Amino acid sequence: MPSVEIPPPPSTREFTGHQRVGLEVNFVDKSLKGWTEITVIPTDPLLKQIKLNCRQCTITKTSVNGKVPITEYSNPYERLKLHDTATVNQHHMLRAKLAPMVKDPPEEELVITFPKSVKIEPTDQFATAAQHALLNRYIPGSRRHSPDINAGGVAMTARVDASTPAFVPIIVRIEFTLENLRDGFHFVGCDPEDQRFPHAYTTHSPLPGSSSAIFPCIDDVHEKCTWDLEITVPRTIGDIRRAAKSGNVGGDSVMTGIGEANSDEIDEYSDLDLAVICSGDLQDEVINSADTSKKTLVFIHDKEIAAHHVSFVVGPFEKVNLSEYRDQDEDDAMSAIAVEVMGYCLPGREHELRNTCVFMHKAVDFFVRDFGSYPYTSYKLAFVDDLPTSTVESASFSICSNHLLFPEDVIDPIYIATRKLTYTLAAQWVGVNIRPKEWSDLWVIIGIGYYMTGEFMKKIMGKNEYRFRLKKDAERVCDLDIGRPSLYAQGVRAPFDVRDLEFMILKAPLVLFILEQRLWKLSGSYVLHRTLRRIILHSTTGELANNELCTQYFIKMCEKISHSKLDYFFAQWVYGSGYPRFEVSQRFNKKKLVIEMGIKQVQATETPQKRLQPEDFMMEARAQQRGVVAGPVLPVYSGPMTIRIHEADGTPYEHVVNISEGYTKLDIPYNTKYKRLKRTRRQKERAAVAAGIDISLDQADDVLLYCLGDVLQSEEEIADWRIEEWSKEEEERMGQESFEWIRMDADFEWICTITLNQPDYMFLSQLQQDRDVVAQYEAIQHFSKARESPLVSSILVRTLMDRRYYYGIRIEAAFALAKCARPELNWIGEFHLKKAFQEFYCFPGSPLPRGNDFSEFTVYFVQKAIPEAMAQIRNNFGSTPLTVQKFLLDLLRYNDNSNNPSLARTLMVLPDSDNDGYQNYDFEDQEEKDAKATALSEVERHQRMDQWVPSYQNVISEAALEIKRDLVKHQIIKPNFVELLAYTRESNLDQLRLKAFECLIELGALQRPELYPYILNVIASDPSPYIRRNLLRIFTTGLGSLAIFGGQKVQQDRPAQSNFGEMIIEEESGEGGMGETAMRRRKGLAREGIMGAMKALREELIGQKAFAEALWKTIESPELGIMELGELLDICQILYDEKTSLIVTLKLPKHLTCTHVGKVCLLSLLVVYYPN
C-alpha cells in the first residue's frame, strides 16, 4: 500500500459539534439512500467553506443554514481507472490516483462553499439561536427534538458559560445516494442464488476513509463529535420479498436467500422482523406512516466518538440477553455498575451464541472492577456472515464473524474464540474510547488491550494456561524479531501489513507483562494495573487530552506511579528491535562455597539469520521498496534478572542480579550445609517397593524433594515399558552435586533465549520438582534438543503418563518423544508413544481404541497430540515407517469420534510438506505401497462421509485435502485439479473453499494459464469480502513460494537451514563449469534474501503475458475494495517496470495518411497529415 503520512494537527478553523445521519437500507437494489446534518462550530470568522470526506456517494442536494451553497464533489472511485489501453506497466499511474485516499487524514473529496448570505456571526449568549446551539452541544438527549436553527421558537434563558462557542454554529445538510458499493457496507443473502438470511452491516477497515464511504463526514480519528442516527429498514423479510417482486416484473429480481422452492418455509421466515443494532443507545422505533412496510429506528450517542467508530447491522437477528448468566451474588456485587451485555445472531444460531459468549458478563465485570468504569451504557455483539476480519470494534458495539460461533460439543475453538471476543470487549476501554495519538503509538493501544485480555484469560483458564502460552509467545517473538523495526517504528509502515499487526499483537502485550514483572519487584505492587486504571480514569475526567494516548504519556504515568525511571526499559523493548541471547556458564567452588557464574550476551554476533518465508514475502518486499530499514540489534540489554538456585536441602534461594554489561561475572553465595538426601531416598524406596517393605517410618525425617514424573517405577512396569534408568556412574556424579538445579530468569522478566550448561539430571530435577509450568516447559525443551537416547525417551514418557502435569507439558513431551524414534535406538520413542496411547485410550490388551470421552477437554488435546507426534516420525530416508503408517491407518479406521471429528486433522499418514527430507519411494516394497493405497482409500471414504454428514466447518474435508496435497508434493499421486475446483464453488463453506484454493496454489496453479485467471477473477468479483481478502493473502503467499522456491519441489531445492554464517557450497564442476546441483543450490541461496527473491519472481513471470493481463483485469474490477486494490498494485510494483505511456487511437479520413517521424519528447504527440 502507499505510505501513510504522519497526520497533521487538527484544523483550527472549525470542528464538528454534532452530526445527524439518516440512512434507508434497500435490500432489493443493495443500495443506501440518506442524508446528514452536520453542526459546524466555527473558530474563525473568515471561514468560507467546509471540506468533508465523501466517497462513492451521489450528492443530490446540499444546504448551509437552509441556503443553497456552491458544491464541488469528485468521487475518488470514479478516478480509479486509466485509459482503455493501459497495462500493468502503468500501475504507478493508478497508484498516484489511489494515494490521496489512503493517507492519514485522507484527502477531502467534498467542498461546500458557503453562500454569501451565510455569515459567521459571534454568539449572543442570550439569543434564541445560541440557546438552541448550546442545547444541541451540551444537553444530552435533547438533540433529536431541538428546533431548527432558522425556525422560530420560545426564547429560553441560558446561563453564560465560558465554554460557549465563540460563533453561532452552522448547519450543513447533505442528501445523497449510494449504489454499487465497493467499501464501507456489505449485503448478504440478497442474490437469487444466496440461500442465507438477508442482512447487511458496515465494514470498517484499518485504513482511513472507511466511514466516509457510507456518509459524508470528517473521517479523521482525531475528529470526534456526538451523533444521532436514524436507520430506515423494511419491517420484515416478507416486506423485502414483496418490494423485490413489485420492483422487477421479469422475475429475475434480487431475492432473499431463504429457499423459494418451499412455500411453507417462505411463510415461516416472512414474518421475521428485521432488527437494527447500532452504536449508541436506541431512543425510538417508529413505523413509517407513508409506507407501513418500513420502520425507522433512532439511536443517539451522547459521548463524542470518531466517525470510524460508528457502525450498525440490519437483519433478522435473534436477541440473547447475556447478562442473565449473572448469578444473584454477582448481580448484588456489581449493583449499579453492572453493564448490560446483549448478543445478536441470525435465526437458528442462538444455541451457538450462548455457548460461545457465555463468559461475556464475567469479562465485562472483571474489566469494570480491575480497570475502571465502562465508558458507555451497554455492550452489544452481533454475529454476521462474510465479515473480512474476526471482529470490528465500534463504540459500545462489536460486529463479529459467524466463524467464531461453535457448539458445545466442539473443543478446538474455545481458547481462540474466547480470546478474540474478550479483546473486542477490552477495546471498548482502550482502542475505541482511548485511541493512539499517532500511528507509532498504536503499539501501546494494542498492548494494553491484549494485556487486559490476558489478565481475564488467566482468571478463567488458570495461571498455568496463561503462563504457558506467554512462554510460547515469547519463543515466537524470538523466532520472528529478526530484522524487524521496533514496536514504535512500526508506525512508519502504516497502513499496516497483516503480518506487522500480528507481530505487534504478539510482542506488545509481552513487553507490558515483563514491565509489570519488573515494576512489581521495585514497588511491591501491581504498578501496571494502577497505571491503566489511572489512564482510564483520566479519559473519563478529561485529563487525557482528546482521549488520545501517546507513548511518552504512558511512560510518564508508569514512572510517576512506580517512582522510578524507565527510560532504559522503553529504549530497549519499545524503541529498540531484536532481543537478547544469553549464554550462561556455572561452576561450584567448594573452597569459597560460591557458585561462579558468567552471563554473556551474544545477540550482536550470534543472532540467527532471518530466513525469508513465503507468508512474509510481500511484507518484506514492501519494506524494501519503501526503504524501511530495521535498527541494529542492541549489543547489551540491561535490567534485573532473578536467578533461583535450588540447593541440596530443596530450598530455593533467589538472587536478583543486575545485567548491565556484555559479560557479567557473579559469585553467588551457597547457603546449604546439609547432606544431600533426595536421590538416596529414591534408591531406598525403589528397593523397598521391589522387596515389599514399608520404609516410611525409617525416613520420616527425610525431605521429599520430588513429586511429579514418579510413575512407572515398579520393576514390572520398568521392564514392560523398556524404561532406562541412570547408570551408577551418573548416580554417583549426581550425589556429588551441591545443588539440584538453577533457574535463570525465574520470574519471567525477559523476552530472550538462554543457554545454560547444566547437566541433564538437573533439568530432570527441574522438570519433576519445580511447580512453575514455565520451568517444566524449559526442561522439556532441553530434552527435545538433547541427544536422543533411551534415557531421554524414558524421562519423556513418564512425563506424558503422569496426569498431574499440566496438559501442555504432556503434549510437548509427546512431540519430543517423536524425536527419540530412531532406528539406532530401536525406535524407542515410537514404542513409548504407542504404549501410552494404548494405555490411555484403547481396550486393555488390544490396539483398538475405545469410544472417545471428551468431557474433559485436556484429555482431548493430549489424545490428539499423540497421533500428531507419531505422524512426525521419519526413518533415515525421510519417509514415515510402515509401522507408524499402520498405526495411524488403524486409528483412522476404528476411531470412534462421532462427537468431535477434529481428530481427523492429525491423521497425516504420509510425510507432510514441512519435512525437508527427501523421500525416495523407488525402494518401497509391496506392503508399503499397499498401506499407502489403503490409507488413501480411507481418506476418501471419510471425505465422502463428510459430504453426506458434514462435520463442524467441514474439518474432515479440509484434512483430506491437506493429505492429498502432501501426497501430490511427494509424487505419490497425481494432482486432481477438478476435485479442488469443485471445492472452490460458492456453495461450499468459506474455510473449505479457501483450503481448496490454498491447495491449488501450492500445487502450481500460479504457473498454469488455465487456473490463475480463475483465481484472480474470484479475488476481483466474489460476493464475499471474507473470501476476497483471504484469497488475496493466499495468492500473495503463493507468489512468495514461487519467489523463494521457484517452480520446483521444495524438499529437493531449498538449501539446508543454517543458523549462523553463510552457506559454503563445494562441488566438482562438470565439463560446462559449475555442477548442476551446485548451480541449483546457489540459486536457491540467492532466493533467501528479499532482493534475490524479488528478482527470481520477476524472472519466473516475466514471459507470462497472460498472467499480466489477468492481473490487470483484476485491478480494473469495479467491485474491488481499496485494500485489495492497494495490495494488487504492490504486486505490480514488484513484478513490472513503470512505463508512463498513453496510446492514442485516431480515426483518420480516407483522404489523409499518418506518418511516424521518430521519437519525440515525453508526453507529446506529433501527427502529420498528408492529403491525397
Q: What is the CATH number of the domain that holds 507?
A: 1.10.390.10
> Per the domain annotation, does 178 fall within a domain?
yes
**What is residue 694's predicted lDDT score, i.e. its pLDDT?**
53
Residues 64 and 197 in one domain: yes
Give the residue from 956, 971, 963 showing the smallest Cα distance to 1004.
971
* pLDDT grade for 104, boundaries at 50, 70 and 90: confident
Q: Is the pLDDT of residue 468 over 80?
A: yes
Q: Is the pLDDT of residue 491 over 80?
A: no
* pLDDT grade for 105, boundaries at 50, 70 and 90: confident
* pLDDT grade for 45, boundaries at 50, 70 and 90: confident
**What is residue 1062's predicted lDDT score, i.e. its pLDDT?**
43
Residues 392 and 332 in one domain: yes
User: What does the alpha-carbon distance between residue 133 and residue 424 come to, in Å, rounded to a whole number?
Assistant: 35
Amino acid at 267: D
Residues 481 and 562 in one domain: yes
Q: Is the pLDDT of residue 247 over 70?
A: no
**What is residue 1019's predicted lDDT score, i.e. its pLDDT?**
96
Question: 40 lies in which domain range?
Answer: 1-82+99-122+170-248+273-314
The CA dihedral of 91, 93, 97, 103, to the nearest 10 degrees, is 70
Residue written as cell 475526567?
541
Give the residue from 34, 956, 413 showing the smallest Cα distance to 400.
413
> Per the domain annotation, does 226 fall within a domain?
yes
Asked whether 1148 and 1172 are in contact (CB, 8 A), the reply is no
Q: Is the pLDDT of residue 1145 over 80?
A: no
* pLDDT grade for 1087, boundaries at 50, 70 and 90: confident
More confident residue, 337 or 1150: 337
Residues 519 and 455 in one domain: yes
Residues 415 and 550 in one domain: no
Q: Is the pLDDT of residue 1050 over 50?
A: no
User: What does the alpha-carbon distance between residue 979 and residue 999 come to, in Å, rounded to a whole number?
Assistant: 11
* pLDDT grade for 770, boundaries at 50, 70 and 90: very high
Helical packing angle, 617-626 and 1090-1101, nearest 10°: 110
User: What does the alpha-carbon distance between residue 491 and residue 252 come to, in Å, rounded to a whole number?
Assistant: 49
Mean pLDDT, the chain, as a whole number? 84
Query: What pLDDT, in 10s, does the model give residues 839-874?
Result: 999 988 888 888 887 878 888 999 999 999 999 999
> Per the domain annotation, does 408 fall within a domain?
yes
**What is residue 475's predicted lDDT score, i.e. its pLDDT?**
96
Of the ranges 109-118, 272-281, 772-781, 888-897, which one carries the lowest mean pLDDT score? 888-897
Handedness of CA 1002, 1005, 1008, 1009 (dihedral sign): negative
Residues 175 and 302 in one domain: yes
- For 516-537, b/e burial (b = at least 16 CB within 10 A) is bbbbbeeeeeebbbbbbebbbe
Residues 310 and 325 in one domain: no
Domain count along the chain:
4
Largest Cα–Cα separation, the chain = 125
> Per the domain annotation, does 1044 fall within a domain?
no
Q: What is the mean pLDDT of residues 161-181?
A: 84
Q: What is the mean pLDDT of residues 1009-1028?
A: 94
* pLDDT grade for 523, boundaries at 50, 70 and 90: confident
User: Domain ends where: 870, 893, 917?
Assistant: 870
User: Domain ends where: 578, 613, 643?
Assistant: 578
Beta pairing class for 739-744 and 639-647: antiparallel
Three-state DSSP state, 305: strand
User: What does the alpha-carbon distance between residue 162 and residue 861 come to, in Å, rounded to a whole number?
Assistant: 64
Residues 532 and 563 in one domain: yes
> Per the domain annotation, does 241 fall within a domain?
yes
User: What does the alpha-carbon distance between residue 691 and residue 699 come to, in Å, rounded to a whole number?
Assistant: 17
Q: What is the mean pLDDT of residues 915-939?
A: 68
> Per the domain annotation, does 1157 fall within a domain?
no
- The set of cell numbers assigned to 729 is 556412574
**What is residue 789's predicted lDDT score, i.e. its pLDDT?**
95
**What is residue 1164's predicted lDDT score, i.e. its pLDDT?**
45
- The set of cell numbers assigned to 334 is 456489581
**What is residue 927's predicted lDDT score, i.e. its pLDDT?**
80
**What is residue 226's predicted lDDT score, i.e. its pLDDT?**
94
Residues 818 and 864 in one domain: yes
Q: What is the DSSP letter of 1153?
A: E
Q: What is the mean pLDDT of residues 1016-1023?
A: 95
> Per the domain annotation, does 456 fall within a domain?
yes
**What is residue 1084's predicted lDDT score, i.e. its pLDDT?**
65
User: Domain ends where: 258, 289, 314?
Assistant: 314
* pLDDT grade for 135, boundaries at 50, 70 and 90: very low
Of the ranges 477-491, 845-859, 908-922, which one carries the lowest mean pLDDT score? 908-922
Residues 454 and 516 in one domain: yes
Residues 503 and 413 in one domain: no
Query: What pLDDT, in 10s, does the model give residues 826-847?
Result: 999 999 999 999 999 998 888 8
Q: What count of Cα atoms within 13 Å lies in the side-chain half-sphere of residue 379? A: 29
* pLDDT grade for 972, boundaries at 50, 70 and 90: confident
User: What does the alpha-carbon distance between residue 548 and residue 438 come to, in Å, rounded to a whole number?
Assistant: 9
> Per the domain annotation, does 611 fall within a domain?
no
**What is residue 128's predicted lDDT score, i.e. its pLDDT?**
47
Residues 360 and 323 in one domain: yes
More confident residue, 485 or 250: 485
